[in-house]
């Protein structure tokens, strides 16, 4: 599988600071935690790492502060073969997330402070228009400001680049955004947020996808967790089962693994249904490992799993 056309991803990097404790402290109270972990996060960054580890020619576009977390971001990308177009923002800070995990239940509570990434503007996108136009596949999500995502999708669409919008975290979108998207990739919750249709079955996913096609999306891929994914267009609707790679350890980052895998496959000219199957395998391996970026598999691992399946 050759590297294929370039992939450009616009998104945010945040440093994930994860604390495990028996319970959350009350205001004014200090308690002892059981463990702490610092790691790379942010949907766009995770997707770029996934694509990079799969051998894609990938550039990640974002803003970072000038600080230790920015150094961590650059190290993470370098290790995964990701090129970066970073706008250094010394008067802000690199994003970070506070993640509290309740030891007994595994439930979490999260505060995300995106920092410099919240300053990504349409003007930043214009300044990197040549990079976006040079891509075969362009991907963005909704962690940076929506007007920046919209401008980037417009530039990509104008240049005939294949566009993927991963509408996460769920947000209210202008209807004009859908016509700029070759693929919209919500999970069940996001699909419900965008359409008002509760997705608890594959038929529900089809109805929600129809609603997004009616708004102008080229194709909709609803990711269904352990039930795989649905590829839905005006002319076809195909359910792709999950690809089991072993016992599930942690599902955080599975959506990012899927989107990074999808972009890498489409950039290599893989037919959409096969690209979805490939992306399901990438996500299938990622959930058997802890962490988000560190759990992303290599191309060799994905090909081996698909050959078995």
- Give the residue numbers marked as catalytic: 256
Determine the Cα angle at 43 with ends 275 and 273, to 5°. Answer: 10
**Chain centroid, CA 146 distance in Å:** 15
- DSSP assignment letter at 306: H
Going by their DSSP bridges, the two strands 35-41 and 14-21 should be labelled as: antiparallel
Helix (H) or strand (E) holding 110: strand 108-115
How far, in Å, CA of 106 to CA of 277, rounded? 29
Helix (H) or strand (E) holding 238: strand 237-240
- Is residue 59 a contact partner of residue 6, using CB atoms and an 8 Å limit? yes
How far, in Å, CA of 122 to CA of 149, rounded? 8
The neighbour count for residue 60, using CB atoms within 10 Å, is 28
């Amino acid at each position: 599988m050759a590297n294929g056309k370039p992939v450009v991803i616009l998104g945010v990097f945040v440093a994930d600071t994860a604390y495990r404790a028996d319970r959350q402290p009350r205001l004014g109270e200090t308690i002892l935690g059981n463990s702490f972990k610092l790691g790379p996060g942010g949907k766009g960054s995770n997707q770029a790492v996934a694509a990079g580890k799969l051998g894609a020619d990938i550039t990640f576009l974002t803003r970072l502060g000038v600080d230790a977390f920015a150094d961590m971001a650059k190290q993470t990308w370098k290790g995964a073969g990701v090129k970066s177009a970073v706008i250094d923002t010394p008067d802000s800070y690199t994003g970070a997330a506070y993640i509290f995990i309740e030891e007994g239940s595994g439930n979490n509570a999260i505060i995300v402070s995106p920092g410099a990434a919240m300053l990504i503007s349409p003007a930043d996108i214009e300044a990197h228009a040549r990079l976006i136009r040079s891509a075969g596949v362009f991907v963005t999500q909704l962690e940076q400001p929506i007007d920046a995502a919209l401008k980037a999708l417009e530039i990509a669409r104008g240049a005939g680049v294949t566009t993927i919008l991963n509408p996460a975290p769920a947000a209210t979108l202008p209807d004009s955004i859908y016509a700029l998207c070759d693929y919209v990739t919500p999970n069940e919750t996001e699909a419900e947020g965008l359409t008002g249709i509760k997705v608890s079955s594959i038929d529900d996913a089809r109805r929600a996808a129809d609603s997004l096609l009616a708004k102008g999306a080229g194709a909709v891929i609803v990711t269904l967790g352990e039930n795989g994914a649905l590829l839905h267009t005006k002319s076809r609707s195909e359910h792709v089962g999950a690809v089991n790679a072993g016992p599930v350890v942690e599902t955080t980052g599975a959506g990012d693994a899927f989107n990074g895998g999808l972009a890498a496959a489409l950039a290599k000219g893989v037919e959409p249904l096969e690209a979805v199957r490939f992306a399901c395998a990438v996500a299938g391996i990622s959930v058997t490992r802890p962490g988000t970026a560190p759990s992303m598999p290599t191309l060799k691992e994905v090909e081996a799993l698909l050959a078995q399946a």
